[in-house]
C-alpha cells in the first residue's frame, strides 16, 4: 500500500541522522508492516538499513542481533559449537507465516516494534533472556530485558524518536535445550499461542508464553516442574485476550497443553553430544 502522506524517505547513515525521527517521521525497517495499512499521520520515514549494521555478530558473551537482521538471515544462521538452542532460531521464524518475500524483508527489530502478541521474535528473544539496546531520542542508551520491551497489544517501551538498535542473547542461553510450540486456528493463520521452554545446563526451566497473552509472560523454576504445578501456573497467568485469531479461554487452554508438551520434551534425556535430536516442528493448526 502506498503511504500517500509520506513526502520523504531519508537514508540514515549515522546516529545523528536519526534526529529526524518524530511522531510523524518513523523508522523504516523491512516495511512489511509499515506499508500494510494506511498511516495518514506519517510525513516521512527514516531508512535504518543504510546504517549498515552487521546482521549477526558472535561475541564472547553470546550473540548480537542487529534490529535490521531479517528473519531469513536469522533462520539460516549457522550454529556455533555448543549452541544446543540453535534450532529454536529457525523454528521461531516459522511462526511468522509470510512467504519468502516477507522473510527476506521483515526484520527482528520490526517484529519486536510492531509488538503484536503473535510476534515470534518477541517470544524468541524473551525466551533466551536476551537484552535489548534502545537508542533513546535524547542520545542516551538504555538496556532492557527483552521480555519487558512489549507492554501490551501493539504497545512497547519506545517513545517517538527512539530506535531499537540490537538484541543481545547471552551465551548461557545458547547452550540450553529449548522446546517450541505454536498453534493457530488455520494452517496459514496468525498464531493463537507461541510458547518456548528453555532448560538450562544447571537444570533451571523457563517457559515463555506469548501469542495468547497481550504481552510475553514467563514462568521460572529451579528445575522442571511436575505437570500439575506447570498446568496450574499457566492457568493462573493473566493477559489472555480474544480476537479473530482465537478466544481468550481457548488460548489459555491450548497454552496449558503446549506448555506440558514442552515440559515432556525437555524431560527426555538430551541427545548425545555431536548428534543433536531433530528439532520438533511444533506447529499446529
Ligand X SMILES: Cc1cc2nc3c(=O)[nH]c(=O)nc-3n(C[C@H](O)[C@H](O)[C@H](O)COP(=O)(O)OP(=O)(O)OC[C@H]3O[C@@H](n4cnc5c(N)ncnc54)[C@H](O)[C@@H]3O)c2cc1C
92 contact partners, CB below 8 Å, separation of at least 6? 120, 121, 123, 124, 180, 194, 196
183 contact partners, CB below 8 Å, separation of at least 6? 191, 192, 193, 254, 258, 283, 284, 285
- Judged by beta carbon, residue 123 or residue 207, the one nearer ligand X is 123
Q: Which of 3, 6, 18, 27 binds ligand X (CB under 6 A)?
A: 27
To the nearest whole angstrom, how small is the minimum distance from the Cβ of residue 266 to ligand X? 25
User: Under the criterion CB under 6 A, does residue 30 sit at the interface with ligand X?
Assistant: yes
To the nearest whole angstrom, how small is the minimum distance from the Cβ of residue 154 to ligand X? 9
For residues 48 and 88, what is the distance between their CA atoms, to the nearest angstrom? 26
User: Under the criterion CB under 6 A, does residue 3 sit at the interface with ligand X?
Assistant: no
Q: Tell me the window of 112-120, 197-205, 236-244, 246-254 that interacts with ligand X (CB under 6 A).
A: 112-120
Is there a contact between 107 and 71 (Cβ–Cβ < 8 Å)?
yes
User: Under the criterion CB under 6 A, does residue 266 sit at the interface with ligand X?
Assistant: no
Strands (E) located in 29-130: 44-47, 56-59, 62-66
Interaxial angle between packed helices 120-127 and 87-94, expressed in degrees from 0 to 180 and rounded to the nearest 10: 150
Q: Which of 12, 96, 183, 196 binds ligand X (CB under 6 A)?
A: 96
Which residue, chain included where needed, has cell 501490551?
152
User: Under the criterion CB under 6 A, does residue 34 sit at the interface with ligand X?
Assistant: yes
- Judged by beta carbon, residue 91 or residue 199, the one nearer ligand X is 91
101 contact partners, CB below 8 Å, separation of at least 6? none
Q: Which of 146, 163, 196, 254 binds ligand X (CB under 6 A)?
A: 163
Contact positions vs ligand X (CB under 6 A): 26-34, 36, 48, 67, 96-98, 102, 105-107, 109-111, 113-114, 116, 118-119, 158, 163-164, 190-191
Amino acid at each position: 500500500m502506498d503511504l500517500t502522506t509520506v513526502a520523504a524517505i531519508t537514508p540514515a547513515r549515522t546516529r545523528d541522522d536519526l534526529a529526524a525521527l518524530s511522531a510523524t517521521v518513523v523508522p523504516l525497517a523491512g516495511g512489511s508492516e509499515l506499508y500494510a495499512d494506511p498511516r495518514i499521520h506519517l510525513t516521512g520515514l527514516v531508512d535504518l538499513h543504510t546504517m549498515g549494521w552487521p546482521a549477526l555478530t558472535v561475541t564472547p558473551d553470546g550473540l548480537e542481533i542487529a534490529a535490521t537482521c531479517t528473519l531469513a538471515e536469522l533462520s539460516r544462521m549457522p550454529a556455533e559449537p555448543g549452541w544446543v538452542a540453535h534450532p529454536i532460531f529457525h523454528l521461531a521464524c516459522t511462526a511468522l507465516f509470510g512467504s519468502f518475500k516477507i522473510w527476506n524483508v521483515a526484520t527482528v527489530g520490526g517484529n519486536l516494534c510492531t509488538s503484536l502478541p503473535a510476534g515470534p521474535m518477541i517470544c524468541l528473544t524473551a525466551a533466551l533472556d536476551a537484552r535489548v539496546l534502545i537508542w533513546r531520542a535524547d542520545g542516551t542508551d538504555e538496556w532492557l530485558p527483552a521480555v519487558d520491551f512489549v507492554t501490551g497489544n501493539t504497545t512497547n517501551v519506545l517513545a517517538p524518536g527512539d530506535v531499537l538498535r540490537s538484541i543481545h542473547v547471552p551465551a548461557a542461553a545458547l547452550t540450553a535445550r529449548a522446546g517450541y510450540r505454536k498453534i493457530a486456528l488455520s494452517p496459514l493463520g496468525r498464531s493463537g499461542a507461541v510458547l518456548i521452554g528453555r532448560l538450562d545446563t544447571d537444570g533451571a526451566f523457563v517457559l515463555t508464553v506469548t501469542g495468547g497473552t497481550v504481552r510475553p509472560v514467563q514462568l521460572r523454576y529451579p528445575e522442571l516442574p511436575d505437570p500439575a504445578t506447570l498446568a496450574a501456573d499457566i492457568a493462573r497467568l493473566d493477559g489472555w485476550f480474544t480476537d479473530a485469531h482465537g478466544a481468550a479461554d481457548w488460548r489459555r487452554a491450548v497454552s496449558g497443553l503446549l506448555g506440558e508438551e514442552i515440559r515432556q520434551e525437555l524431560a527426555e534425556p538430551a541427545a548425545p553430544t555431536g548428534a543433536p535430536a531433530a528439532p520438533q516442528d511444533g506447529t499446529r493448526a
